[in-house]
């Protein structure tokens, strides 16, 4: 059996040597690589990456601040890919080094632990196959990754946002939704109970690590590993930023057309459409995108949402999210909930229009946004837990009066941030309740609810007046 080096890798000293060794792993299963019996004795305890570190590159697992290959300045990462009808995509975010709040707050980007450890990444990709033993997963590709200049500009902005919160004594409020490509994800065997001190507050903050977000990793895989054509970029040349952040660049471009009517913008950009997504179509045209997707927004998982403000300063539409299944909801906890994680991890681009006093809809501009920590962990959590309780405990009630169906699900009037209601008008589009639960229904008319174990499909919504409260002041006047 090959002896492990005592500490750091001393055999591979150049990027070329590291890449060549990585290339030799392609086509091999994890079991073929494993020299120490981890795969079949403990189910790859510590992860597939540990097997590669020990058995393929021959060094002991460690959590040092130095890259895995210090002389070459390269960090090794092993991550999964999933194949679907569009090809391969990243299975998950790429978790990097743990953030030491007490130290990171006093660094610059160039001296940060993130940049020191992750400046160059040796990426080995295995194909994740649900239901298969990890030992049967195969290494299918490799990539020695250097961040492109335009991506690096966004990553630097992301780092500044993360460290800015730490410096403001708000490390406990960090969220992946704060940023675009580089995130601060929870890290630990039990992330909900792993906490660290922060320098400018007595509040303990969840342990977090830098990570490259799932959507960004999918973009990297598709473009740099498989050479697939990507969506158009908003940044044609990094020099176009002119020292601005990517987000400022986008909002400045939209602001240049402030006050123009929708009809004027349609004519200006030769748009022949009245689709429901017209507001977003116009925004993409302003940003120099011919289609309806921009590479940077797709890579960051940014949701583009059109907001229409009435001339009286109110918003009619609440913001909907995809329908959920009652059985899936009942099996979740708040910490791992689909809706909670969507809000935690998603950054939004609001494109704001407003009706003038002549009922003409005019562009006002754009704003990047993610839900504030307190709003998510108080109001949204309360609403979600109430909905979860009704579903999982079989406490849903329907009351039918004059053929109108009323229910006891969390209503907009009950919560300042979020509520539950159907998406669409067909109340007979139904979804099964968890096994063993039923709903109670009463009726005083000719219509009776025909099911005891099904309910109209529902969605989570953010309240319209809450969305209005989150807009910058310039869009409320």
25 and 151 fall within a common domain: yes
- If one counts the domains in the chain, the total is 3
Single out the residue in 225, 256, 277 at which a domain terminates. 225
Segments forming the whole domain that contains residue 109:
15-225
> In the chain, helix, strand, coil percent, each to 5?
35, 25, 40
Q: Is 216 exposed, middle or buried (0-12, 13-18, 19+ CB in 10 A)?
A: buried
54 and 201 fall within a common domain: yes
DSSP codes, 152-206: HHHHHHHHHHHHHHHHTT-GGG--GGG-SSEEEEE-STTGGG-EEEETTEEEEEE
Query: What whole-number distance in Å separates Cα of residue 40 and Cα of residue 36?
Result: 10
- Tell whether 5 is covered by a domain: no
- Tell whether 6 is covered by a domain: no
Q: Token match 């980007």: residue?
A: 109
What are the residues facing 401 on neighbouring strands? 404
85 and 109 fall within a common domain: yes
- Tell whether 64 is covered by a domain: yes
- Tell whether 10 is covered by a domain: no
Q: Token match 């748009």: residue?
A: 271
Sheet holding 361-369, edge to edge: 303-309, 348-355, 361-369
Report pLDDT for 434.
96
Question: What is the bridge-based pairing of β-strands 459-462 and 94-98?
Answer: unpaired
Question: What is the bridge-based pairing of β-strands 303-309 and 319-320?
Answer: unpaired
**pTM to 2 decimal places:** 0.92
160 and 300 fall within a common domain: no
Report pLDDT for 43.
58
Report pLDDT for 2.
38
Question: How would you write the pLDDT of the chain (477 residues) with one tens digit per residue?
Answer: 334 444 455 689 999 999 999 999 999 999 999 998 888 776 565 589 999 999 999 987 777 789 999 999 999 999 999 999 999 999 999 999 999 999 999 999 999 999 999 999 999 999 999 999 999 999 999 999 999 999 999 999 999 999 999 999 999 999 999 999 999 999 875 555 689 999 999 999 999 999 999 999 999 999 999 999 889 999 999 999 999 999 999 999 999 999 999 999 999 999 998 888 999 999 999 999 999 999 999 999 999 999 999 999 999 999 999 999 999 999 999 999 999 999 999 999 999 999 999 999 999 999 999 999 999 999 999 999 999 999 999 999 999 998 889 999 999 999 999 999 998 778 889 999 999 999 999 998 778 999 999 999 999 999 999 999 999 999 987
Is the dihedral angle over the CA atoms 411, 412, 415, 418 positive or is it negative? positive
- Tell whether 4 is covered by a domain: no
Report pLDDT for 42.
62
219 and 246 fall within a common domain: no
Three-state secondary-structure class, residue 146: strand
Single out the residue in 174, 196, 225 at which a domain terminates. 225
> Measured in whole angstroms, how far is the alpha carbon of residue 457 from the centre of its chain?
24
Report pLDDT for 344.
96
CATH of the domain at 172: 3.40.600.10
193 and 306 fall within a common domain: no
Q: Is 436 exposed, middle or buried (0-12, 13-18, 19+ CB in 10 A)?
A: exposed
260 and 121 fall within a common domain: no
């Amino acid at each position: 059996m090959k002896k492990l080096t005592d500490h750091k890798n001393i055999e591979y000293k150049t990027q070329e040597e590291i890449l060549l060794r990585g290339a030799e792993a392609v086509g091999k299963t994890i079991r073929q690589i494993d020299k120490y019996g981890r795969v079949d004795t403990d189910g790859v305890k510590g992860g597939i990456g540990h097997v590669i570190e020990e058995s393929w590159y021959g060094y002991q697992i460690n959590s040092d601040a130095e890259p895995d290959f210090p002389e070459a300045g390269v960090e090794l990462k092993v991550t999964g890919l999933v194949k679907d009808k569009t090809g391969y995509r990243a299975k998950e975010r790429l978790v990097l080094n743990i953030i030491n709040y007490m130290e990171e707050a006093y660094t610059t980007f160039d001296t940060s632990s993130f940049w020191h450890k992750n400046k160059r990444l040796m990426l080995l990709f295995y194909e994740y196959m649900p239901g298969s033993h990890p030992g049967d997963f195969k290494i299918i590709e490799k990539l020695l990754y250097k961040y492109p200049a335009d991506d690096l500009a966004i990553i630097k902005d992301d780092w500044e946002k993360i460290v800015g919160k730490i410096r403001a004594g708000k490390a406990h409020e960090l969220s992946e939704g704060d940023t675009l490509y580089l995130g601060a994800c929870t890290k630990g065997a039990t992330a909900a109970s792993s906490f660290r001190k922060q320098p400018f507050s007595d509040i303990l903050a969840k342990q977090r690590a830098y990570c490259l977000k799932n959507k960004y990793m999918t973009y990297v895989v598709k473009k740099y590993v498989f050479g697939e054509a990507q969506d158009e970029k908003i940044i044609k040349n990094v020099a176009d930023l002119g020292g601005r952040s990517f987000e400022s660049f986008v909002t400045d471009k939209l602001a240049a057309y402030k006050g123009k009517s929708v009809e004027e913008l349609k004519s200006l950009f030769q748009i022949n459409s009245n689709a429901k997504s017209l507001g977003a179509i116009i925004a993409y045209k302003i940003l120099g995108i011919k289609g309806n997707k921009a590479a940077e927004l797709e890579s960051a998982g940014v949701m583009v949402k059109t907001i229409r403000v009435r001339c009286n300063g109110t918003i009619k539409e609440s913001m909907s999210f995809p329908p959920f299944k009652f059985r899936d909801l009942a099996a979740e906890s708040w910490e791992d909930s689909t809706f909670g994680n969507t809000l935690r991890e998603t950054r939004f681009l609001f494109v704001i229009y407003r009706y003038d006093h002549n009922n003409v809809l005019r562009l006002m501009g754009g704003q990047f946004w993610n839900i504030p920590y307190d709003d998510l962990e108080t109001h949204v959590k309360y609403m979600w837990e109430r909905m979860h309780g009704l579903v999982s405990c079989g406490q849903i009630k329907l009351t039918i009066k004059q053929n109108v169906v009323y229910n006891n699900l969390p209503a907009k009037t009950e919560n300042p941030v979020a509520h539950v209601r159907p998406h669409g008008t067909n109340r007979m589009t139904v979804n099964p309740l968890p096994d063993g639960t039923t709903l109670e229904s009463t009726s005083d008319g000719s219509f009776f609810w025909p099911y005891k174990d099904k309910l109209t499909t529902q969605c989570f919504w953010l309240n319209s007046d809450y969305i209005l409260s989150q807009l910058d002041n310039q869009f409320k006047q």
